[in-house]
Chains A and B, each alone.
Chain A
């Protein structure tokens, strides 16, 4: 290979949507050749003492499937479905039938104690195994296809047995044929049991993992969360150590109780996340209380104004800030209250855009109201109201 050649060859992997095994397609992609050339080479070399066949099998064994888009590896990648265009199980059954017919045509007997007979039985068993192990995960075939293959295989075995017994020369031959067919039938159905057993094993592993996780969650809840709470308690809520402990506690809690919070980006979740982010950057702790359900979107103007109010509180007041969100079918309200030195919006010079524009102006343009007022006992409270009289809410009309 010339050192100047770009080493940008696609990796040698098999595509998950393939004809039979993806070997030819993967190899063609890797080598930059048309697929039919690769196939032709395999077929041609197959006649050189079967070299092509062995090469094909070798590639089949050792070439991995394409990586999943999400970058998931391990067991999940192993179990991701593969879509095969070729109905391999049916082809195997067809080959079994052809083999019986050939036996009758070439050897003059449809008996099973011939190489054609053996081949036919093996092919039927192979069809059963393929339908379970390869095609079950295929969304286009699945369990229905598997059952059909198995029924067809059983019928084929029955026909073969009847033909063999009718054509049998002796009682021993008939008995041997019956035995062989029984064996083939067992092989046809064995994969079902095997698959079930593997499924059970997997379930058990999964359950054990869940239990371990729950145990770990309980333990962490008891020890780490308590310690983090104590750190906050002892260091003061707004000290740096306290804030780090708080951020850690929040992260750990989210991980432990991942299923408990709504995953979609509603306003409440958004404000909580924003509070967590601000706590890291400023000496401030937010207490976010949410009442009622609100369908308010996190992208709306209300959310933007609320975030701005929280940022102001974190920047200018610090300390403890309370955020209260109440949603009812007809209105959504947000209160952001700090305990800082306080200011009167009337005193703020006109060129300061923060409060005037990004909170009050924004809310007015979106059809809501905003009010900034000093608390009677100090601090400042920003009150945002958004009336939604009809179902057809237009939360962020002016985006």
Chain B
């Protein structure tokens, strides 16, 4: 890529993991900062104003910051830093596949979610996608979303703008992603453009973040998220 590399901050409390991740990223990505806890992360993000923050879901509080009971360090970083750097996009990384943790970070404003086991090339792709304004959904996250919006029970939005339910097309896209299809493959299956797939995914992400749907809130509060 001819453009200047994407500026990325890695937030993870494990030096080994940070080093490993840094080694995996190719030269389209420049790591401009690292942080190991919530306090340091907020400071580094505010100072460097990166394009993308790779954010671990579980983080210790660190200097001058505590992680409230029921929240996660990742969600806390988003709460404190997101409004300081409006241009920055956050991509959550986690070893935890606990639905509540992942949905908590997404609802706090992350643009996507990857498991830490993902290969380096996938991380690079995801960083570029997030930087370009797209959402990154792993199959697991797509499954959570379908579950949380009651798609399995046959709930479909009557109008596309409805926040509490997914439209038929959005459900279709989510199902393909949950079945392991990449955006390109989803586009081929549905005879639509990749851009349209991305639009649908972004719409789902917006609904996930803004919806006051009962299951989402009940789900979250049952696990002391909000």
Contact B179 A233 (CB under 8 A): no
Q: Is A159 in the interface zone, CB < 8 Å from B?
A: no
Contact A322 B139 (CB under 8 A): yes
Contact B143 A230 (CB under 8 A): no
Residues of A within 8 A of B43 (CB): none
User: In whole angstroms, how far apart are the Cα atoms of A223 and B15 in the complex?
Assistant: 11
Q: Is A193 in the interface zone, CB < 8 Å from B?
A: no
Known contacts being A230-B17, A289-B140, is A326 close to B146, with CB within 8 Å? yes
Contact A287 B140 (CB under 8 A): yes
Interface centre among B119, B147, B154, B188 (most CB of A within 10 A): B119
List the one stretch of B110-118, B162-170, B205-213 in contact with chain A: B110-118
A/B pair count, beta carbons within 8 Å: 105
Q: Closest CB-CB distance, B62 to chain A, in whole Å?
A: 14
Q: Is B95 in the interface zone, CB < 8 Å from A?
A: yes
Known contacts being A329-B153, A377-B185, is A289 close to B178, with CB within 8 Å? yes
Q: Is B224 in the interface zone, CB < 8 Å from A?
A: no
CB-CB contacts of A367-398 with B at 8 A, as 1s and 0s? 00000000111000100000000000000000
Contact A287 B180 (CB under 8 A): yes
CB-CB contacts of B127-161 with A at 8 A, as 1s and 0s? 00000000000011011001100011110000000
Residues of B within 8 A of A377 (CB): 181-182, 184-185, 188
Q: Is B2 in the interface zone, CB < 8 Å from A?
A: no
Select B185's contact among A223, A226, A376, beta carbons within 8 Å. Answer: A376
Contact A233 B120 (CB under 8 A): yes
Contact B117 A335 (CB under 8 A): no
Contact A230 B152 (CB under 8 A): no
CB-CB contacts of A281-301 with B at 8 A, as 1s and 0s? 000000101111100000000
Q: Is B80 in the interface zone, CB < 8 Å from A?
A: no
Q: Closest CB-CB distance, B68 to chain A, in whole Å?
A: 16
Q: Closest CB-CB distance, A70 to chain B, in whole Å?
A: 31
User: In whole angstroms, how far apart are the Cα atoms of A375 and B185 in the complex?
Assistant: 9
Q: Is A189 in the interface zone, CB < 8 Å from B?
A: no
User: In whole angstroms, how far apart are the Cα atoms of A236 and B118 in the complex?
Assistant: 9
Known contacts being A229-B117, A233-B116, is A324 close to B143, with CB within 8 Å? yes
Which residue of chain B has the shortest Cβ distance to A327 in the bound complex?
B152
Select A222's contact among B58, B120, B151, beta carbons within 8 Å. Answer: B58
Q: Closest CB-CB distance, B59 to chain A, in whole Å?
A: 10
Contact B180 A233 (CB under 8 A): no
User: In whole angstroms, how far apart are the Cα atoms of A227 and B20 in the complex?
Assistant: 10
Select B13's contact among A222, A228, A236, A291, beta carbons within 8 Å. Answer: A222
The number of chain B residues with a CB under 8 A from chain A is 37
Known contacts being A230-B20, A324-B175, A324-B178, is A291 close to B119, with CB within 8 Å? no
Q: Closest CB-CB distance, A332 to chain B, in whole Å?
A: 10
Q: Is A246 in the interface zone, CB < 8 Å from B?
A: yes
Select B14's contact among A226, A289, A292, A321, beta carbons within 8 Å. Answer: A226
Q: Is B16 in the interface zone, CB < 8 Å from A?
A: yes
Q: Is B27 in the interface zone, CB < 8 Å from A?
A: no
Q: Closest CB-CB distance, A231 to chain B, in whole Å?
A: 9
Q: Is B66 in the interface zone, CB < 8 Å from A?
A: no
Residues of B within 8 A of A260 (CB): 98
Residues of B within 8 A of A356 (CB): none
Q: Is A337 in the interface zone, CB < 8 Å from B?
A: yes
Q: Closest CB-CB distance, A374 to chain B, in whole Å?
A: 12
Q: Is B26 in the interface zone, CB < 8 Å from A?
A: no
Contact B152 A320 (CB under 8 A): no
Contact A291 B17 (CB under 8 A): no
User: In whole angstroms, how far apart are the Cα atoms of A226 and B152 in the complex?
Assistant: 33
Q: Is A232 in the interface zone, CB < 8 Å from B?
A: yes
Known contacts being A225-B95, A291-B152, A328-B152, is A233 close to B175, with CB within 8 Å? no
CB-CB contacts of B95-109 with A at 8 A, as 1s and 0s? 110100000000000
Q: Is A234 in the interface zone, CB < 8 Å from B?
A: yes
Contact A229 B115 (CB under 8 A): yes
CB-CB contacts of B12-34 with A at 8 A, as 1s and 0s? 01101100110010000000000
Which residue of chain B has the shortest Cβ distance to A224 in the bound complex?
B95
Which residue of chain A has the shortest Cβ distance to B23 in the bound complex?
A234
Contact B147 A292 (CB under 8 A): yes
User: In whole angstroms, how far apart are the Cα atoms of A223 and B58 in the complex?
Assistant: 11
Q: Closest CB-CB distance, B166 to chain A, in whole Å?
A: 12
User: In whole angstroms, how far apart are the Cα atoms of A228 and B17 in the complex?
Assistant: 10
User: In whole angstroms, how far apart are the Cα atoms of A317 and B116 in the complex?
Assistant: 24
Known contacts being A233-B20, A322-B180, A337-B179, is A221 close to B189, with CB within 8 Å? no
Contact B96 A221 (CB under 8 A): yes
Contact A324 B14 (CB under 8 A): no
Interface centre among B140, B146, B152, B153 (most CB of A within 10 A): B152
Q: Is A237 in the interface zone, CB < 8 Å from B?
A: yes
User: For residues 204 through 241 of chain A, which have their beta carbon under 8 Å from a beta carbon of chain B?
Assistant: 221-223, 225-230, 232-234, 236-237
Q: Closest CB-CB distance, B187 to chain A, in whole Å?
A: 10
Which residue of chain B has the shortest Cβ distance to A329 in the bound complex?
B153
Residues of A within 8 A of B180 (CB): 287, 320-322, 324, 337
Q: Closest CB-CB distance, A347 to chain B, in whole Å?
A: 22
Known contacts being A226-B14, A291-B152, A328-B153, is A233 close to B118, with CB within 8 Å? yes
What are 25 A-to-B residue pairs whose CB atoms are below 8 Å?
A221-B58, A223-B14, A225-B95, A227-B14, A228-B95, A229-B116, A229-B117, A233-B117, A233-B118, A233-B119, A287-B139, A291-B147, A291-B178, A292-B146, A292-B147, A292-B152, A292-B153, A322-B178, A324-B179, A326-B146, A328-B153, A337-B181, A376-B189, A377-B182, A377-B185
Beyond A221-B95, A287-B139, A326-B175: 7 further Cβ-contacts under 8 Å? A222-B58, A226-B95, A232-B117, A236-B119, A292-B146, A337-B179, A377-B181
